[in-house]
Amino acid sequence: MTQPQTYLEALKHCSDAMISAQKPILILDAIKWPQQTEVEFFADGAKRLPAISREDYARMNPLGFDPDDKRRELESIAHTITQRLGADDPLGRILLQTLNQYQTVVSMLENRGTPAFQAASQTLYGSTRDALRGDTLSLIDLGKRLCEIFSLPAAQHLNASHPKNIEAGAAVDILRQRLQPYFVDSAFTVKETDGIVSDASAGGDCIKVNTHAAFSKLDLQVLEVHEGWVHVGTTLNGRNQPWATWLSAGSPRITALQEGLAVLIETLTFSSFPGRARRISDRVVAIDMAEAGADFMEVYRHFINQGLGQRESYKIAQRVFRGGDVAGGACFTKDLSYVRGLVETVNFIRSAILADRPELLPWLFAGKVALDDIPTLYHYHKEQIIAPPRYLPPMFRDLNGLYVWFGFSSGFAAIDLKNIQAHFQSLFRQHPS
């Protein structure tokens, strides 16, 4: 049954209000470290904690909003949603859940550099001791196992064959040439910047490439599908929504699906590599250490002792302690989203196939969505409220290969791998590597 025009107008009004309210809440900008901090850390022999304090965050990265005013604004929008859409409206509930998370984000950012920052981060992104959805395995147990797999000698050998010999300017040109045809009829672009911590990141309809970074050919393949197909693609699909305009804006509740889907696409396109996969699992271990009270230097030295380079070890520790306290007691847990999101997204796809609902799978790309939103969004698509995703990776445009891949995966899950591995290990021992 098609919803009346008054409902559609109310939905768009509430969506637009939330988008406007969240615009100045820039989490990564509020907790980023200047490039000079890394320069000074190594100039000092990598022997002292980086000079980042609670006061530094307030001075370097002032919030673009007043926390109390922002809380009142978010509460007012929530009241409007309840009045105009109803407390039991399924799309209204998604909006209310998102607004509630923004309230927690406001608290997190006004407590940068304190234990309250970590507590809010754990509320938003979870803890390493959390169990995976529908399972008893914890994130840290899975993270440690993945670290072992991606640290094997063979993995290190494979990594060495892909040198980082492409400078930022050339990387921008390559990514632009590859992705502009994918995002035809959009405002998509790629540009250099020195204002990000990572080597590259997606923001709206743009991929930003760190001026100070160098890339391998495989790195660029990862960026093409991870930042481009997933992060930019879902943003642009969200912007194409006529009524549910909030689907163009990300919030912490959608981070696990965004990052998990991006890692999955890396894997399905054979773009990833062991070093990349290890960085993702290393971050789980780093967060676990920081949650247990380790300081920046302890995390940094742990990865040095694990055989990682100085710069790479610094980047891992930096990602974990940005916004927190380098002396210990407060960290940022967002990077758990990669491993958690990958497992949960794979399980969603397998479950949709086993339930004979493969038509739900393209809706992973409908915008900035959480897994639990997808059946609701599909239902409202049938009522002509939610538009289908325009920019879709090829394996989600034609589901045949994806269905077969994950159909086999679901069938193989019943096999006892321990017995199989024991059989082949006896063969491997006859011809050691």
- Over residues 87-91, mean pLDDT: 93
pLDDT in tens, 381-405: 999 999 999 999 999 999 999 999 9
Number of domains in the chain: 1
Q: What pLDDT score was predicted for residue 367? A: 97
Reported confidence tier of residue 104, pLDDT bands at 50, 70, 90: very high
pLDDT in tens, 353-386: 999 999 999 999 999 999 999 999 999 999 999 9
Q: Is residue 171 a part of any domain in this protein?
A: yes
Per-residue pLDDT tens digits for 2-43: 568 999 999 999 999 999 999 999 999 999 999 899 999 999
Tell me the CB-side half-sphere exposure of residue 105, using CA atoms within 13 A: 27
Q: Which of 246, 176, 165, 247 is nearest to 208 (CA)?
A: 176
pLDDT of residue 236: 96
In a domain, 345, yes or no: no
Residue 307 reports pLDDT greater than 70: yes
Confidence check: pLDDT of 152 > 90: no
What's residue 47's pLDDT? 93
pLDDT at residue number 352? 95
Whether residue 325 is predicted with pLDDT greater than 70 in this model: the reply is yes
**Confidence (pTM):** 0.92
Q: Which residue would you say has higher pLDDT here, 195 or 276?
A: 276
Sign, Cα dihedral of 344, 349, 354, 360: positive
The mean pLDDT value for 99-104 works out to 98
Residue 126 lies in a domain: no
Please tell me the predicted confidence (pLDDT) of residue 416: 81
Domain that residue 234 falls in: 163-241
- Tell me the sheet residues that pair with 201: 208
Give tens-digit pLDDT for 269-292: 999 888 889 999 999 999 999 999
Evaluate whether residue 213 is within a structural domain: yes
Asked if residue 219 is part of any domain, the answer here is yes
* Residue 160 pLDDT level (bands cut at 50, 70, 90): low
Residue 139 has a pLDDT of 93
The predicted pLDDT at position 366 comes to 97
Task: Answer whether residue 97 shows pLDDT above 70.
Answer: yes
Evaluate whether residue 192 is within a structural domain. yes
What pLDDT shows up at residue 190?
Answer: 95
Q: For 344-360, what is the mean pLDDT?
A: 95
Mean pLDDT, the chain, rounded, equals 93
**pLDDT at residue 432 above 80?**
no
Average pLDDT (90-110) is 97
pLDDT score of 204: 85
216 domain residue, yes or no: yes
User: CB-based contacts of 268: which residues, under 8 Å, 6+ apart?
Assistant: 393, 395, 402, 405
| DSSP assignments along 188-255, one per residue | -EEEEESS-SSSEEEETTEEEEETT-EE-HHHHHHHIIIIIIIIIHHHHHHHT-SS-GGGGS--GGGH
Phi/psi zone of residue 122: left (φ > 0), alpha (ψ -120 to 50 degrees), beta? alpha
Quick one: pLDDT at residue 2? 57
Is 218 a member of any domain? yes
Plot region of 389 (φ>0 → left; ψ -120 to 50 → alpha; else → beta): beta
